[in-house]
Structure 1
């Protein structure tokens, strides 16, 4: 994205000489004219979509300084870092806003369901044998194992049975009679954290809050609604090398 935006800024500046003084053509006389004009239009649309806050005067000044390599206000080597940090931050802000809007919409439709799941977790954490971690993950040790615990980057082989708090089964390797293999850093946060607590041969029961699962996002084609607490019985068969 950064490299593209740099190219976009340069392209826009080519057709945006200071004070609007440039040779304006009324027609496209050949293929190069057509391609050049099309590239300019495309870049203009891209910059409008990605950088509405552009200061046109400094934008043009930067282009000219870069062309003649004089009077530069920044070191050329620093430019990629500056742009990358800025647009990463803008993207994070945009994603945060989208998530907030999604949560607000989901709460309007599933507010009571969210309260029901929160109440379940509040009551569940007071039961004998239930341990609650700092993140809010709850678990019960059904059987301990032996050996080394896996790491967040480990690939593991497990058997599991997943339900909602009302007992609805949404996924089960046990019912399929086929263990599953996956990397712990490629699954929901509750699994990444929980399975690192286990040793091979162990069997735990996890109660995963929605914040550590799918949050306000519904799972298409399945029973998992926004704000669902997920309940898993997991047996860690082995850490794969």
Structure 2
């Protein structure tokens, strides 16, 4: 019950802190004890901040904070739950799923709007799968197939320009068979001749989709600058 524990601990800190603050206010005096007067206060606040951040990251936008606080205190005091314990997990999972689905819809709408406008740029090309690309440097000669091993230099960024990976930073090109990379690469790199450099705009469905890849949030548009250095046919 990870989410239950997080919710309970988060609001417990808020409720406890509020109660402590009330206790420290004395009639006819302007002296108020610091909110974090004891180690227990600091621990409580630290847990509250951490757990509150975790709750916020779930993407749920509608909270009854007062009721969460009451539920938190009731759990800490071993009082009976207003909802049967075996139903709590289903409620929490349902809320998390709904929030995730809503966020995905919003992201896909933004993605559609971006690619619609991006397609209007001079020199922008599109594949039938939805991959968009610009030719930065023309190459010469043959082009690799999906079965080939390619050697490339690349830099990957999010749409806001935040870099998440680059072979240039490692000063070492990537060697990999194209059947082992994301779909956007499988479609895009075979369009390149040796020596070419393209900029690819990869929609989420051709990237990592709804997966959370650490530095790459779910449903992210990916931008790759790729230079094809070499390729080997029929690589094992």
TM-score (norm 2): 0.55
Aligned to 2:101, which of 97, 101, 107? 107
Matched, 1:210 2:235: no
Measure, in 2, the Cα distance between the counterparts of 1:153 and 1:121: 29
2:187 to 186, 193, 197: 193
Equivalences for 1:1-241 in 2 at 5 Å?
Answer: 106-219=100-213, 221-222=214-215, 224-240=216-232
After superposition, the Cα gap between the structure-2 partners of 1:104 and 1:181, relative to the gap in structure 1 and judged at 3 Å, is farther
Q: CA deviation at 1:121?
A: 1.3
Post-superposition CA distance 1:27-65 (Å, at most 9, x none): xxxxxxxxxxxxxxxxxxxxxxxxxxxxxxxxxxxxxxx
Instruction: In structure 2, list runs of 5 or more residues that go unmatched.
Output: 1-95
RMSD value, Cα = 1.9
Query: 1:134 and 1:206 mapped to 2: Cα distance?
Result: 14
Residue 41 of structure 2 is matched in structure 1 by none
Structure 1, unpaired ranges of 5+: 1-101
TM-superposed CA distance for 1:105, in Å, is 6.5
Change over 3 Å in CA distance of 1:126–1:150 after alignment to 2: same
In the superposition, relative to structure 1, how do residues 203 and 103 fare at CA in structure 2: closer, same or farther (>3 Å)?
Answer: farther
Distance 1:104 1:172 in 2: 35
Secondary structure of residue in 1 paired with 2:184:
helix
User: Which of structure 1's runs of 4+ aligned residues deviate more than 3 A?
Assistant: 102-106
- Tell me if the contact between 1:203 and 1:235 (Cα under 8 Å) persists in the aligned partners: yes
- For 1:193 and 1:105, locate their aligned partners in 2 and report how far apart those are by CA, in whole Å: 32
Aligned length: 138
Query: Deviation at 1:112?
Result: 2.8
Deviations 1:44-94 (A, max 9, x none): xxxxxxxxxxxxxxxxxxxxxxxxxxxxxxxxxxxxxxxxxxxxxxxxxxx
Q: Residue 162 of structure 1 contacts residue 230 of structure 1 at CA under 8 Å; is this kept in 2?
A: yes
- In 1, Cα distance between the equivalents of 2:153 and 2:179? 18
